[in-house]
Amino acid sequence: MSLLCRLLPRPSWFALGLVWVLGCCVVGSAWAQPEESVPGGGAPAPAGALEASDHPGDNGNAIDLRWTLSTDDRAEFKPRRVKGYRLERRALPSAVGGADGEGATDEMQVTELPYGMGQFVDRQCVPGRSYQYRLWAVGPGGESAAIETDGPVTPQRQWWDGTRTGFAVVLLTICGAVIWFTERAKRGKSLHVREIAALRAMQEAVGRATEMGRPCLFIPGIEDMNEIATVAGVAILSHVAETAADYQAEIVVPTTRSLVMTAAQEAVWGAYLKADRADDYRPDHIYYVSDEQFAYVAHVTGYMVREKPAACFYTGVFYAESLIFAETGNSVGAIQIAGTSEATQLPFFVAGCDYTLMGEELFAASAYLTREPQQLGSLKGQDAGKVLAVGLLLAGCLLATAVEIWPGWDPPVNALRWLTGRLLGGG
């Protein structure tokens, strides 16, 4: 090379260097691997035939949407040319706002959907409103041209909501069980009801009061007759009063509400009539004290200390006074039977009383004591409903566990979706 440079004149030397540099560039570019181009570098092809229709068998809050996938939405394209779809919903101005047209403005909602999805159910609609939809295919190169529905679609309420069919079946099953058990009881068929120790002990408590010559004290709670627990307490009072009339024992019922006093008087009067002891009925032993909680508590506890009742019954709604009553009754040596719907007060009654009606035993007491067909049928029908609820709960737990253990197994997935979405109507 140096010899060639000495033989050639200086201008030729510069020209040769320039040729050599250009040749190296040409050879290097030929050897270099070209970059792989991304298929479909531009915007993807649009989807086709966007159709919207009212969702059948619902309450008017859903619209079904279907479309043809974009021709670029194919799994063999690597990387994918379509990353998803963008769905835009617009509420038409004439369908938005009040009847007088106030507030009639457009409402826009955009939903991002995954690739490979050719249908969608919009469940956030308002019955009677008209909606227009547009759809774009979205890819690395941007968005496709928009397609839209041919015209607006309006969801309508249906006469029968198909999503609640499963709930209707469950409801009819429970109601049918109530009717069936009631009819069986009316025909004289024996319906088994679990023995409740607290109710069985009521006769023993009244008998003990009779032997000791002391009164029976009955507290029907501190709430009014609009509370179902108070109604249940008055029903139990009727049974206790009938037993007291048979044994010729004295029964005292102080109340905090005038309406409860009236209901208690009627219940006791009916019990004495049923026992053929109308002459022994003392209406002055069923009286009103005060609506004030602790004024009533002071009167009752004072009576307990002075008269020392041999049997105390507490059924109804109780709050802070539950422990005061229980401890005072315990201090005078009374046999005590309690029941309340307030779960926070049950521990105090359990600790201070001899017998306690736990939970729903308070409401089942009337059916247990009277054995009336309507009450027995209702009680047994509710038990059937509880059995059905426990069965559905266990089935749901087993299916959810199977889905987690075998995520690729379709049967438990489909069964769980049917249980939660169809039978229970979405929970």
Which residue, of 338, 355, 371, is where some domain finishes? 371
Residue with the bigger pLDDT between 408 and 178: it is 178
Which pLDDT value is given to residue 359? 80
Whether residue 174 is found in the same domain as residue 131:
no
Residue with the bigger pLDDT between 74 and 337: it is 337
Supply the CATH number for residue 362's domain.
Answer: 3.40.50
Whether residue 287 is found in the same domain as residue 221:
yes
Q: What is the pTM for the complete model shown?
A: 0.63
Which residue, of 148, 177, 212, is where some domain finishes? 148
Residue 23 lies in a domain: no
Whether residue 209 is found in the same domain as residue 351:
yes
Residue 7 lies in a domain: no
Which pLDDT value is given to residue 98? 43
Please check the confidence at residue 272 and state whether its pLDDT lies above 90.
yes
* Mean pLDDT along residues 173-194: 87
Whether residue 244 is found in the same domain as residue 331:
yes
State yes or no: cis peptide before 11, omega within 30 of 0.
no
Please check the confidence at residue 5 and state whether its pLDDT lies above 50.
no
Whether residue 222 is found in the same domain as residue 275:
yes
Which pLDDT value is given to residue 358? 86
Lowest mean pLDDT segment, chosen from 3-7, 178-182, 187-191, 332-336: 3-7
* pLDDT, the chain, mean: 84
Whether residue 250 is found in the same domain as residue 355:
yes
Residue 274 lies in a domain: yes
* Mean pLDDT along residues 129-145: 91
Residue 367 lies in a domain: yes
Whether residue 210 is found in the same domain as residue 358:
yes
Dihedrals phi, psi of 190, to nearest 5 degrees: -80, 125
Please check the confidence at residue 427 and state whether its pLDDT lies above 60.
no
Is 112:86 a contact under the CB 8 Å cutoff? yes
Extract the tokens encoding 366: 């009337």
Whether residue 249 is found in the same domain as residue 382:
no
* Mean pLDDT along residues 199-209: 92
Which pLDDT value is given to residue 38? 41
pLDDT tens per residue across span 20-54: 555 555 444 444 444 333 444 578 999 988 999 99
Extract the tokens encoding 359: 């939970």
Look at residue 146 and give its three-state secondary structure.
coil
Residue 170 lies in a domain: yes
Which pLDDT value is given to residue 94? 57
Q: Which domain holds residue 133?
A: 48-148
Residue 142 lies in a domain: yes
Whether residue 205 is found in the same domain as residue 279:
yes
Supply the CATH number for residue 73's domain.
Answer: 2.60.40.10
Extract the tokens encoding 64: 């079904």
Q: How many domains does the chain have?
A: 3
Cα distances (angstroms) measured from residue 1 to each of 201, 297, 348: 124, 121, 111
Residue 220 lies in a domain: yes
Confidence of residue 15 (pLDDT cuts 50, 70, 90): low
Side-chain half-sphere CA neighbours of 347 within 13 A: 2
Please check the confidence at residue 287 and state whether its pLDDT lies above 90.
yes
Whether residue 212 is found in the same domain as residue 349:
yes
Residue 18 lies in a domain: no
Please check the confidence at residue 124 and state whether its pLDDT lies above 80.
yes
- What percentage of the chain exceeds 70 in pLDDT? 87
Whether residue 323 is found in the same domain as residue 262:
yes
Residue with the bigger pLDDT between 103 and 212: it is 212
Side-chain half-sphere CA neighbours of 197 within 13 A: 6
Which pLDDT value is given to residue 7? 44
* Mean pLDDT along residues 264-287: 93
Whether residue 204 is found in the same domain as residue 142:
no
Report how far residue 197's alpha carbon sits from residue 371's, in angstroms, rounded to the nearest whole number. 16
Which pLDDT value is given to residue 12? 54
